[in-house]
A and B are shown apart, each in its own frame.
Chain A
Amino acid sequence: MIYFDNAATTQQKPRAVLDAVLEAMTHMGNAGRGAHTASLDAARSIYDARTLLAELFHSESPSCIAFTSNATESLNTALKGLLRPGDHAITTVLEHNSVLRPLYELREAGTELTILPCDDKGCLLYDALSDAVRPNTRLIVCTGASNVTGNCTDLARIGAFAREHGLLFVVDAAQLAGIFPVDVQRLHIDVLCFTGHKALLGPQGTGGLYVREGLSIRPLKSGGSGIDSQNTHHPDRMPTALEAGTLNGHGIAGLAAAVRFLLEEGLDAIRARELQLAQEFYLGVRDIPGVTVYGDFSTLARCPIVSFNIGEWDSGSVSDELLTQYGISARSGIHCAPLMHQSLGTLKQGAVRFSFSQFNTHEEVQTGIRAVRELA
């Protein structure tokens, strides 16, 4: 089987990740719920993961990193915890439903919403930002890279704009984290939401959010914290403030091993290999008659994603042919990003998405190109 669905979940993980999860499951207790060996082992392992993620994202301290189960939980926490009725939020058509649906929910409760458009290649129209700001604008939330086209958004530009206008800046780093270095302080990011199971190479069920020091977010959940237990309210100190209940300590041990792997290998080297594979595929299919490729390939500021269609052929059907005839696993449909597909004119047809990882090979890419050529 050839796996080209790494933007959904990276299937192949470094061996160290598997070993770390297994090791954790053999000795770990419940972190922060005792001072015995097994509990402290878990607490140390989780703190280790916080420290590594703080290094990866250039966070002020490990305590700015709170763990959740995925980027969706992080985004729900950030948006529902920061926005109130009467506030105004700005987002983009590039977003995944994990951003859009919480915002729609908030809009029904009285939060105002502006959604910025993109050009015909799916790139954000930044000039629309200035006109979108209102007196009650509280935040800008956007993805670091489209999960459909792979193109990055200019976080430095939006971060500078947000700071200039006194707005909070929330970033969905589901696609970006593990591919591009993210310096939250340099980019003026107030909240960075990430998931562990994509390019961070960790297990599913791991994720988290960076919250700028001094920023307080109303938590989605309250409950056991292991600290301040006689208080009738959940503690407001990070990271405990956003971590009610037992964490996925076993998964987080795997995530720590994954981040250590990424830091050792270097994101620049990994990304160079992944973009080389994506570019090889793009160059191999773009001129095939009937094939339409979406996105801007004139820039290196992109994730290793290539979405395309063959004529008017239903993307799900193409995906099924790829699987049954060539053993290729790729994602079809609209990728939980309806506004992006609407902008690209592919809401009905969807698109076939190939997303690459460092563990894919040149031979696999060549098979992918041959498959598209033969199907077209």
Chain B
Amino acid sequence: MRKKELSLIITFPSTADALAMERICARFQAPGRLIPVPTSITASCGLAWRSAPSDQEALETLISTEKLTIQGIYECMV
């Protein structure tokens, strides 16, 4: 089994919000990708954005400036 890594996980209230995140990140070349929400996190949408913990500040700035809707930001082993 692949060794788990500490990851930054961002969850969303709906699929449309997750897709909006992906689109904005692609436009600004921000790191990460959509994955299934880890079962350790309770989230509305089945899609989550996974990135490295070191990306948190940059992603939070992007979320704020682009008015993206998210549900939560977590660090967990994925």
Residues of A within 8 A of B (CB): 31-35, 40, 43-44, 47, 50-51, 62-63, 226-229, 235, 237-240
Our count of residue pairs bridging A and B at CB distance below 8 angstroms stands at: 57
> Distance in Å from the Cβ of B46 to the closest Cβ of chain A?
6
- Cα distance A50–B19 in the bound complex, in angstroms: 11
Residues of B within 8 A of A (CB): 13-20, 22-23, 34-36, 44-47, 69
If A34-B36, A35-B35, A40-B34 touch, whether A47 touches B44 (CB-CB below 8 Å) is: no
The one of A40, A44, A51, A235 that contacts B44, using a Cβ cutoff of 8 Å: A235
> Distance in Å from the Cβ of A52 to the closest Cβ of chain B?
12
- Cα distance A238–B13 in the bound complex, in angstroms: 10
Q: Are A35 and B14 within 8 A (Cβ)? A: no
- Cα distance A62–B47 in the bound complex, in angstroms: 18
The A interface, classified by DSSP as helix, strand, loop or mixed, is: loop
- Cα distance A155–B22 in the bound complex, in angstroms: 36
The one of B13, B22, B46 that contacts A33, using a Cβ cutoff of 8 Å: B46
5 tightest A-B CB contacts, nearest first: A47-B19, A32-B15, A228-B44, A35-B36, A227-B45
Q: Across the interface, which residues of B come within 8 angstroms of A62, CB to CB?
A: 16, 20
Q: Are A240 and B46 within 8 A (Cβ)? A: no
Q: Across the interface, which residues of A come within 8 angstroms of B44, CB to CB?
A: 227-228, 235, 237
Q: Across the interface, which residues of B come within 8 angstroms of A33, CB to CB?
A: 46
Contact sample, A vs B, 21 pairs, CB 8 Å cutoff: A32-B15, A32-B45, A33-B46, A34-B46, A35-B34, A35-B46, A43-B15, A43-B19, A47-B19, A47-B20, A47-B23, A62-B16, A63-B17, A226-B46, A227-B14, A227-B44, A235-B14, A237-B14, A237-B44, A240-B14, A240-B16
